[in-house]
Amino acid sequence: MTYFRKREQGTFETLPSNPESRIKAIKGIIKRKQYAKIDGTMIDLYSASAICQVYDALNDKNKRKFASMSADKMGLFALRFVS
């Protein structure tokens, strides 16, 4: 299944269908060092890094809850605790 679609401007847009693919797409932002659109929200490198730091620090039960949030809510939650 393709998670990324290249847009006209050269950025990537994701179409994640489940929480695991959403986290994979966010980690892909860090790997490529380029912002992308996830769930209709532009996520930059700093926000993606904060989301991954929070995600990695959570236990398994809370990881499932965190990954099921939309990308914009994940970003707001992560930036509240990582600064």
Domain boundaries, the chain: 4-81
Distance from chain centroid for Cα 22: 6
- 13 forms beta bridges with 5, 37
Low-confidence ranges of the chain (pLDDT < 50): 1-2
pLDDT of residue 2: 46
pTM above 0.85, yes or no: no
pLDDT of residue 82: 85
- 38 forms beta bridges with 41
